[in-house]
Chain A
Amino acid sequence: MILSAAIWIPIVAGVLVLAAGDRNPWTRWIALAGAVLGFLVTIPLWTGFDPSTSAMQFTELRPWIQRFNINYHLGVDGISLLFVLLNSFITILVVIAGWTVIETRVAQYYAAFLIMSGLLNGVFSALDAVLFYVFFEGTLIPMFIIIGIWGGPNRVYAAVKFFLYTLFGSLLMLIALLYLYNQAGGSFAILDWHKLPLPLGVQIALFFGFLFAFAVKVPMWPVHTWLPDAHTEAPTGGSVVLAAILLKLGAYGFVRFTLPIMPDACKHLAWLMVALSLIAIVYIGLVTLVQTDMKKLIAYSSISHMGFVTLGFFLFNIYGLEGGLVQMISHGFVSAAMFLCVGVLYDRMHSRAISDYGGVVNTMPRFASFMMLFAMANSGLPATSGFVGEFMVILGAMQQNFWLAFAAATTLVLGAAYTLWMYKRVIFGPVANDHVAKLPDLNYREFIVLGLLALAILWMGVYPRPFTEVMHSSVSELLRHVSVPKQ
């Protein structure tokens, strides 16, 4: 029941918010209550989780469409658990962050975020392929609306690009799902599919079917160009959810579908995935360096960081796989924090251009301190969450090949270069212009949001052990499963 609550409480709250309407003074409070309640119900998942087993926990199974053997089947293991928690946590922050910033269509704004939050929890806990697909596609709609309505001047282009890119990707996946349904003798149960014996040729075909859907979401080079546009046009909250959670769907798909269902194809095509990941790390790292728009810069840096996730997954060792998962969680915190920081500046100056800023530290010292922490986390400094995942993936890469680790480790220099160079130009220096001179420092609401993220980032950097210990059993089982040929 906990998982159903995690899915439906935010959705119901979203509907209530819609019903309450824009002018109702309680609209924001209902949204906040829904988000907080949605987070609170997920806490028993963490406290009641049994890390010694790789089996699905908190499962729920009800028939949905019996004609096609489609079930409402939910459950989490050590891999998906953390994403449900992350998503519910981020939703609270998004609700608080938009409190005074959003003035038009308030109810619809909050409803979109709450419904999306519920759908995202659905994606991470669905064990039935059709249920997964419905949630997976369902998340597109609120995000499309968020970018299209509350976005920047070029929002329509960005929204349509986002929608078409991702929709096109998932259509191929739908075909793959239907094929697997037939192969499994009329079952959409994902866990049954894991055990299907499939010849290598079929695996490879299916691999590419899923690849496009997931690669677009991650996003992997070269299907990444929708992300910078979507991020720059999206409102702050949209960027936060997009970077922190939506990008994780693709990577999650790799661990839930691609690796266990097509292990032989994965090993056969690992070189391709590793190459694309390294391109993301190095090529995108260089592209990030020359961005002049803060949001675009952080968007590109997200792509580069997600390269570590896909690299880790296709190393087939425990360092890589756990490192990739840790990197996903960490990136959820860090990218959210970075986008919120840009949001804080944008709300005051209505500009995202780095050249419009300079010397912000003089007028916003508290903000500058927070952003320094987040910038360091983005550069992968030890004692922040950003280090842990990258460290583990580099260790994992070295187990395979020196030059692989070498290429991955360039992020140590590139990541620091693009993040701190931006920080220097925006935050340091003398006051650049009259607008900067008038900037007010963080208000208490912004302080709470950034403070919560700072605590999360430091906790995960100083004591990451609880995060990896919940995933050990599931990851070990997955690696064991992948190592046995299926054909």
Chain B
Amino acid sequence: MKQLAVIVAFAPLIGALVAGLGGRWITRQGAHSVTIFSVLLSFLASCVIFVDVLKGASFNETIYTWLTVGDTRFHIGFLIDRLTALMMVVVTFVSLMVHVYTIGYMADDPGYKRFFAYISLFTFSMLMLVMANNFAQLFFGWEAVGLVSYLLIGFWYTRESAIYASLKAFLVNRVGDFGFLLGIAVLLAHFGTLDYGTIFAAAPGSDADMTLICVLLFIGAMGKSAQFPLHVWLPDSMEGPTPISALIHAATMVTAGIFMVARMSPLYELSETARSVVLVVGAVTALSMALVALTQYDIKRVVAYSTLSQLGYMTAALGASAYSAAIFHLMTHAFFKAVLFLAAGSVIIALHHEQDMRRMGALRRYMPWTYWTFLIGAISSAGIPGFAGFFSKDAIIEAVHRSSTSGHLFAYLCVLSCVFVTATYTFRMVFMAFHGQPHFDPEHPPHESPAVVTLPLVLLAIPSVAAGWVIGPVVFGDYFAGALPMVEEEYHGLWAFMAHGFVSIPFWLALAGIVTAWYLYLKRPALPKWIARQLGPLYALVERKYGFDELYAWLFAGGARNLGQGFWRFGDQSLIDGLMVNGSARVVGWFASVVRLFQTGFVYQYAFTMLIGVVLLAFWFLRK
């Protein structure tokens, strides 16, 4: 399995290097061929490994020793169990779809080859992250996906908004990494190693402060998975090309935090306080971000806020110790969110880079493939029984309901009411973009996208429905046995679960949400504006994303600059250079100028001074 694992991880790296450094030697077609081939290879190898793992195999080995410090060795190595294998398949599959889609989406872009190099590099980084068997490599993957995300958000580097968003994303992520690295350092200080296995084995009996460790690690997850209050970078990341929004900012990278906490579940199970923090942060993120999605008009931003909200669900599930449910939702979300993003991208391309939903409408008549796949994604996202999103979300809501972690009641209320909001904003999108009257330029009617765009849509729409059907073994069965703690819930088979879904509160809330969206955006389109006016400042607060962007810009960006100016002008220039350095130079100069007065060069002055000296000395001696 070692060879296969190495192929999975490093094939995309080689693809990226060839496409990125090939320069003139490689054509556009060559660039996409080599990267797609390498990712396909990686996907197939992942599938083989997945089948092996299903048969009970697992793998935990070192590839090479990266660094030795004294007697401690830091390795690059892979841990492949059922959790890893599932992530590998999801990551390589979505990445493959996005590679194919990109051929169509970026066809006219001058940065075509660079783009393929970046997304293959991303796939490599993400695989290094999920396949790591130690914290040093995890941190490498963690930072590397952040780097590629930075490069891709700022892909169109002449756009001021894009390069601002990329810088912001990198720095906010770095704030999370700051906590993450400290968490890793505490682990090393206590356990003397960074290998998962050794730490997990030693953790239960150790005197290490598990709450501190888990909260620090979770700060990293908050940055990467955009949890409140480090969520501010994700909406702006939509400045990047749409395939990136699907691959990195919905399906894979942003779920790294969820994956990490699930991977560390042996540690999180040791601290209820940490789990409580995770639960509450997740619940707050889920509801607050869903509310923002209701107020946005940019179709990509709505999907972005929806991603934030769904990530909140996953986090809440982690806090409720339902790790398998979180990973299950991660998987279903990867599919249905990728569909939503890529279909939105198809719309954007068809409308010549128009992203405002107020200038869309009635698109279902022009773009049937896009419409139906988008609709499947939307239904799945809203959580209608039978679709993938329903199973995973219901499992999470139920887990939060049954949880006894402190704060679970508050969290339950948040995730439950969020179901209504989710359905509303999702179908608000469907109705505004695809139904009603056309609001786009009638001179240039949109037309359906080419097959390289619609084929990935269809291929992703299938698991957006079907991926939910494996809930039995994955969440409640023994799929994750040995990798994750079990979820203890009643489960009587797929049909019973669905039947129960039809009579439970979340389903009726979702239905009410869809009806609300229909009433507000198709039946009485003037009503939303009236409601917004009635709500006044409350609406403005939500629409302005609770003011976090402004607060951070003022407090951290502005504060750091002012502090820096202060230290520089006062500390360095006035105090050290002005007073101490040039000051001592001036003192020497002044002293010299005083002493110089004695060196007049006039003999009579010297003679007179000598005379005075002689007289004084004579007095002094005679006095004795």
Please give the residue numbers on chain A whose beta carbons come within 8 Å of chain B beta carbons, in ascending order.
161, 165, 222, 225-226, 283, 286-291, 318-319, 322-323, 359, 361-362, 372, 376, 381-383, 387-388, 391-392, 394-395, 397-399, 402, 405-406, 409-410, 412-414, 416-417, 420-421, 424, 427-430, 462-465, 468-469, 472, 476
Report yes or no: B189 in contact with A359, Cβ–Cβ below 8 A.
no
Q: Indicate whether B565 reaches chain A with its CB closer than 8 angstroms.
A: yes
Besides A428-B157, A465-B67, 6 more A-B contacts (Cβ < 8 Å) are A222-B576, A290-B564, A319-B70, A362-B158, A394-B181, A421-B167
Contact stretch, chosen from B54-62, B442-450, B566-574: B566-574
A26 to B182, CA, bound (A): 55
Closest to B177 in A: A412
| Residues of chain A lying within 8 A (CB to CB) of residue B561 | 289-290
Q: A318-B70, A416-B171, A469-B68 are in contact. Are A383 and B560 (CB under 8 A)?
A: no
Please provide the 7 A-B residue pairs with the shortest distance between their CB atoms, ordered closest to farther. Answer: A398-B185, A286-B564, A290-B564, A318-B70, A382-B140, A428-B163, A289-B564
- B167 near A424 with CB under 8 A, answer yes
B490 within 8 A of A: no
For B170, the chain A residues whose CB sits under 8 A away are 416, 420
Residues of A within 8 A of B567 (CB): 283, 286-287
Decide: A225 and B572 in contact? CB cutoff 8 A: yes
Whether B69 pairs with A468 at a CB distance below 8 angstroms is yes
With both beta carbons as reference points, the residue of chain A lying nearest to B179 in the complex is identified as A409
User: Are A465 and B66 neighbours in the complex by a CB distance under 8 Å?
Assistant: yes
Q: Are B560 and A472 in contact (CB under 8 A)?
A: no
Are A319 and B181 interface neighbours, CB within 8 A? no
A-B contact pairs, 27 of them (CB 8 A): A222-B576, A289-B561, A290-B564, A318-B70, A381-B143, A381-B147, A391-B136, A392-B69, A395-B188, A398-B185, A398-B186, A399-B189, A406-B182, A409-B178, A409-B185, A413-B171, A413-B178, A416-B170, A416-B171, A416-B174, A420-B171, A424-B164, A462-B66, A463-B66, A464-B66, A465-B67, A469-B68
Chain B residues lying within 8 Å of A420, measured Cβ to Cβ, are 150, 167, 170-171
A168 and chain B: residue at smallest CB distance:
B584
Binary contact track B143-154/A, C-beta < 8 Å → 1, others 0: 110010011001
Q: Is B563 an interface residue (CB 8 A)?
A: yes
Cα separation A382 to B141 with both chains bound (whole Å): 8
Task: Verify B157–A410 contact, CB threshold 8 A.
Answer: no
Q: Which residues of A contact B572 (CB under 8 A)?
A: 225, 287
Once A429-B157, A429-B163 are accepted as A-B contacts, the answer to whether A287 and B568 lie under 8 Å apart by CB is yes
B167 contact set on A, CB distance < 8 A:
420-421, 424
Interfacial chain A residues near B69, Cβ < 8 Å: 318-319, 322-323, 392, 395, 468
Task: Enumerate chain B residues within 8 angstroms of A409, measured Cβ to Cβ.
Answer: 178, 181-182, 185
Tell me which residues across on chain A come within 8 A of B576, comparing CB atoms: 222, 225
List the interface of chain B (C-beta within 8 A of A).
64-70, 136, 139-140, 143-144, 147, 150-151, 154, 157-158, 160, 163-164, 166-167, 170-171, 174-175, 177-178, 181-182, 184-186, 188-189, 560-561, 563-565, 567-568, 571-572, 576-577, 580-581
Contact B560 A286 (CB under 8 A): yes
A409–B216 Cα distance when bound, in Å, is: 13
User: Which of B67, B68, B157, B563 has a CB less than 8 Å from the CB of A361?
Assistant: B157
* Chain B residue, CB-CB nearest to A286: B564
Q: Which residues of A contact B177 (CB under 8 A)?
A: 412
- A78 to chain B minimum Cβ distance, whole angstroms, is 13
Contact status A424-B163, CB under 8 Å? yes
Interface class of chain B by DSSP: helix
CB contacts (< 8 Å) of B140 on chain A: these are 382-383
Q: Is the CB of A394 within 8 A of B65?
A: no
Q: For B563, list chain A residues within 8 Å (CB).
A: 286
Q: Which residues of A contact B144 (CB under 8 A)?
A: 381-383
CB-CB under 8 A for A398 and B188, given A409-B182, A463-B66: yes
Give Cα distance in the complex from A464 to B73, angstroms: 12
Determine if A465 and B182 form an interchain contact, defined as CB atoms under 8 angstroms apart. Answer: no
CB distance from A333 to the nearest CB of B (A): 17
B-chain residues with CB within 8 Å of residue A424 when the two chains form the complex: 163-164, 166-167
Q: How far is the CB of B74 from chain A (nearest CB, A)?
A: 9
- Which residues of B have CB within 8 Å of A413? 171, 174-175, 178
Q: How far is the CA of A464 from the CA of B65 in the complex (A)?
A: 9
Which residues of chain B have C-beta atoms less than 8 A from A462's C-beta? 66
Q: How far is the CB of A141 from chain B (nearest CB, A)?
A: 21
- Which residues of B lie under 8 Å from residue A323 when comparing CB positions? 69
Find the A residue at minimum CB distance from B184. Answer: A395
Q: Which residue of B lies closest to A283 (CB)?
A: B567
A412 and B64 alpha carbons, distance in the complex (Å): 26
What's the minimum C-beta distance from B370 to chain A, rounded to whole angstroms? 33
User: In whole angstroms, what is the CA distance A318 to B73 when docked?
Assistant: 13
> Does B560 lie within 8 Å of A464, measured CB to CB?
no
Q: How far is the CA of A470 from the CA of B87 in the complex (A)?
A: 39
Question: What's the nearest-Cβ distance from chain B to residue A301, in Å?
Answer: 12
The residues of A that contact B181 with a CB separation of less than 8 Å are 391, 394, 409, 412
Residue of A283, A290, A395, A405 touching B571 (CB-CB under 8 A): A283
Q: Would you call B157 and A472 a contact (CB within 8 A)? A: no
- Output the nearest chain B residue to A398 by Cβ-Cβ distance: B185
Q: Using Cβ atoms and an 8 Å threshold, which residues of chain B touch A286?
A: 560, 563-564, 567
Shortest Cβ gap from A164 to chain B (Å): 8
Measured CB to CB, the closest approach of chain B to A420, in angstroms, equals 6
A462 to B554 CA separation, bound complex (whole angstroms): 38
| A448 CB, min distance to chain B CBs, angstroms | 16
Inter-chain contacts of A406 with B (CB < 8 A): 182
Q: Which of B70, B147, B160, B184 contacts A376 (CB 8 A)?
A: B147
> What A residues does B178 contact at CB under 8 A?
409-410, 412-413
In the docked arrangement, what's the CA distance between A204 and B563, Å?
A: 34
Whole-angstrom distance between the Cβ of A147 and the nearest chain B Cβ: 17
CA distance A460 to B198 in the complex (A): 27
* A318, A372, A402, A421, most chain B CB atoms within 10 A: A402
Q: How far is the CA of A410 from the CA of B181 in the complex (A)?
A: 11
Q: How distant is B577 from chain A, measured CB to nearest CB, in Å? A: 5
Chain B hits for A476, CB < 8 A = 70
Inter-chain contact B154/A428, CB cutoff 8 Å: yes
Give the residue name and chain of the B residue nearest to A427 (CB).
B157
Partner of A465, one of B65, B143, B577: B65
Distance (Å) between the CB of A255 and the closest chain B CB? 16
- Complex formed: what's the CA distance from A289 to B178 in Å? 18
- Closest chain B residue to A413, Cβ basis: B174
Complex formed: what's the CA distance from A289 to B181 in Å?
Answer: 22
Residues from chain A with Cβ under 8 Å of B189 in the complex: 395, 398-399
Given A283-B567, A287-B572, A421-B167, the answer on whether A225 and B581 have CB atoms closer than 8 Å is yes
Please determine whether B188 and A429 come into contact, CB atoms closer than 8 angstroms: no
Q: Distance in Å from the Cβ of A68 to the closest Cβ of chain B?
A: 32
Of chain B, the residue at the smallest CB distance from A289 is B564
Cα–Cα, bound, A385→B189 (Å)? 23
Provide the bound-state CA to CA distance between A381 and B163, in Å.
19
The CA-CA distance from A476 to B71 in the complex, in Å, is 10
Q: How far is the CB of B556 from chain A (nearest CB, A)?
A: 9
* Assembly CA distance A64 to B255 (angstroms): 67
Bound state CA distance, A382 and B143, in angstroms? Answer: 7
* Contact of A394 with B185 at beta-carbon distance under 8 Å, contacts A222-B580, A382-B143, A424-B167 already known: yes
* A290-B67 in contact (CB<8A): no
* A468 CA / B188 CA spacing, docked (Å): 18
Give the contacting residue for B68; candidates A225, A376, A381, A472; CB below 8 A: A472
Please, which residues of chain A bring their CB within 8 A of the CB of B188?
Answer: 395, 398
B157 neighbours in A (Cβ, 8 Å): 361, 427-429
Neighbouring A residues of B65 by C-beta, 8 Å: 465
List the B side residues contacting A469 at CB < 8 Å.
Answer: 68
**CA separation between A222 and B157, bound complex, in Å?**
39
CB distance from B131 to the nearest CB of A (A): 15
Q: Please, which residue of chain B has its CB at the minimum distance from the CB of A362? A: B158
Nearest CB of A to B549, in Å: 17
Q: Which residues of A contact B147 (CB under 8 A)?
A: 376, 381
| Chain B residues closer than 8 Å to A429, beta-carbon distance | 157-158, 160, 163
The answer to whether A468 touches B163, judged by C-beta atoms less than 8 angstroms apart, is no
